[in-house]
Amino acid sequence: MLTTTALALSTLALRVSAEVKMANHRRPGLADTPPLGWNSWNKFGCDISQDTILDAAKVIADSGLQAVGYEYVIIDDCWHADERDKNTSAPLAHPERFSKGIKYIADEVHKLGLKFGIYSSAGTHTCAGRFASLGYEEIDAKTYAEWDVDYLKYDNCYNEGQSGTPEASFKRYNKMSKALKKTGRPIVYALCNWGEDGPWNWAPTISETWRISGDVWDSFDTVDDYCPCETMIDCKMSGFHCSVSKIIEFSASLGQKAGPGHWNDMDMLEVGNGGQTYDEYATHFSMWALAKSPLILGHDLTAMTNETYEIVTNKAIIAVNQDKLGKPAQRRWKRKIEGGGTLQMWSGQLDNGDTVVALVNLSPRNLSVAVDIADMFDAPERDAKTKTYEFFDLWERADENDLQSWGRSVGVHQNSFSAPVQLRSHQTKVFRAHPINLSSNPDLVPQQVVFKTNSDN
Ligand code: GLA
């Protein structure tokens, strides 16, 4: 009896250690924090050439985008020739649009100190109908490595029905993961199966990032039947035309699955593409950052407005995204607002002991919101009641004359904010709460904060 139990236990131990081994996909140095960069698809679709890509790379290097962390320059769909090399089956670039070849672009991008990404699909064709990698994983991965590719976005179109269960999807995507590893080149593997078959449960064992939903589009909250699910848990039709508000909703329950080296990808940013207001784009950028999604710009960098530049270079928000603890913020509460939409509070721990807090107004009304500091924590009794915090508003500047001085102090607070926070429709306010030791700051008199939610119109 004892022997049987011992045998069963050792088998279990072996199985657990095999699983632990499998779970230990993390490749330090690769996506330790969410990747930051630019991708051609949202703005240009198939209308791309080597100039489109290199022009974007130059703007990243020259405009200060690289200085705040943007690094990957990614060609999406449509870089392809009509067919593969007839003799070797290796992938080929479009002979006119990419006449100098992909390696040339990678070299030019690298000369700027940036990294280079490419796109394919775990199917017979890409979503735009070009040749793709199913059955060609090894030759494609080898060629990408020879081209000095640093990042592969790997899509889901024309997958020959090899999806519908986590096993089928895992098997198909694992082939490229293995092929990439075999090349010996550290290539970030950005899996893009639109949240089908719950990638957050298996993709962390084979990739650095995974898309959680159907394609984003440049709309704040338009309801569209092409994006039919209310949650991605067991969603059977990821679709596309998913609004920013919908993707925020999808991401709320998935933060627990992400961490250093493995991230939920909420899709590329639409900031700067023209379909949303300043407040809406700032909400979009803030929530992607707090949920620790990759921040991949998707607009025309060569025609960027000051307003767009201001949003995407907010260093205080980027610092939250790139915080090395790598813990996505959690939604603490969501309240329905009369007249439609919701008001939400999200918060998350940061590496230095600060807490990031977002008040997100997804309603059509301007709101006046009372904030209870205890709501920011998992264990409010322990974490909040005994502490005092200085709050910094990350969408305000400390110095109005210094456009990059993001993060203005809005006072020292205990228990709750002393005055309600005013939020415009579709606006998000993001605060960084820094714990203050009152005994070493005897002159500080904290303001008491009372939180209530009222709508003021
Ligand atoms: C899919 C992806 C998009 C984009 C297009 C390209 O729809 O989800 O992000 O890559 O394909 O065809």
Residue nearest to atom 3 of ligand 1 (CA): 215
Q: Quick one: which atom of ligand 1 is closest to the CA of 126?
A: 12
Residue 6 has pLDDT above 70, yes or no: no
The pLDDT value recorded for residue 449 is: 39
The residue that leads in pLDDT, 8 or 55, is 55
Residue 365 has pLDDT above 90, yes or no: yes
**pLDDT tens digits, residue range 235-275?**
999 999 999 999 999 999 999 999 999 999 999 999 999 99
Q: Please work out whether the CB of residue 155 comes within 6 Å of at least one atom of ligand 1.
A: yes
Q: Quick one: which atom of ligand 1 is closest to the CA of 128?
A: 12
- Catalytic positions are 155, 215
- Classify each residue of 411-424 as buried b or exposed e, where b means 16 or more C-beta atoms within 10 Å of its C-beta: ebbbbbbbebbebe
The pLDDT value recorded for residue 106 is: 98
Percent of the chain at pLDDT above 70?
Answer: 89
Mean pLDDT of the chain: 91
- Distance (Å, whole) CA 169 – CA 193: 8
Residue 85 has pLDDT above 80, yes or no: yes
Cα-Cα-Cα-Cα dihedral of 177, 295, 263, 173, to 10°?
Answer: -30
The pLDDT value recorded for residue 144 is: 99
- Distance (Å, whole) CA 114 – CA 97: 22
Domains along the chain with CATH numbers = 36-322 (3.20.20.70), 330-440 (2.60.40.1180)
The pLDDT value recorded for residue 456 is: 39
Residue 446 has pLDDT above 90, yes or no: no
- Distance (Å, whole) CA 36 – CA 190: 12
Residue 457 has pLDDT above 80, yes or no: no
Centroid of ligand 1 to alpha carbon of 150 (angstroms): 19
Contact 118, 74 (CB under 8 A): yes
The residue that leads in pLDDT, 382 or 346, is 346
Considering the entire predicted model, what is its pTM? 0.92
The pLDDT value recorded for residue 25 is: 76
Pick from 38, 76, 191, 218 the residue to mutate for probing ligand 1's pocket: most ligand atoms within 8 Å of its CB.
76
- Classify each residue of 224-258 as buried b or exposed e, where b means 16 or more C-beta atoms within 10 Å of its C-beta: eeebebeebeebeebbebbbbbbbbbbbbebbebb
Contact 209, 191 (CB under 8 A): yes
Helices (H), 63-198: 102-111, 137-146, 166-183
Residue 180 has pLDDT above 60, yes or no: yes
The residue that leads in pLDDT, 287 or 8, is 287
Helix (H) or strand (E) holding 120: strand 115-121
Centroid of ligand 1 to alpha carbon of 127 (angstroms): 6
Residue 407 has pLDDT above 70, yes or no: yes
**pLDDT tens digits, residue range 271-327?**
999 999 999 999 999 999 999 999 999 999 999 999 999 999 999 999 999 999 999
Centroid of ligand 1 to alpha carbon of 35 (angstroms): 18
Contact 292, 328 (CB under 8 A): yes
Residue 453 has pLDDT above 50, yes or no: no
Residue nearest to atom 5 of ligand 1 (CA): 127
**pLDDT tens digits, residue range 373-403?**
889 887 766 666 567 889 999 999 999 999 8
Average confidence (pLDDT) over 349-356: 95
Among 8, 11, 61, 4, which Cα is nearest to 38's? 61
Q: Please work out whether the CB of residue 127 comes within 6 Å of at least one atom of ligand 1.
A: yes
Pairing of strands 342-349, 428-436: unpaired
Q: Please work out whether the CB of residue 270 comes within 6 Å of at least one atom of ligand 1.
A: no
Q: Please work out whether the CB of residue 354 comes within 6 Å of at least one atom of ligand 1.
A: no
Q: What is the DSSP letter of 255?
A: G
Residue 109 burial (CB count, 10 A):
27
The pLDDT value recorded for residue 15 is: 43
Cα-Cα-Cα-Cα dihedral of 249, 254, 260, 265, to 10°?
Answer: -50
Residue nearest to atom 4 of ligand 1 (CA): 41
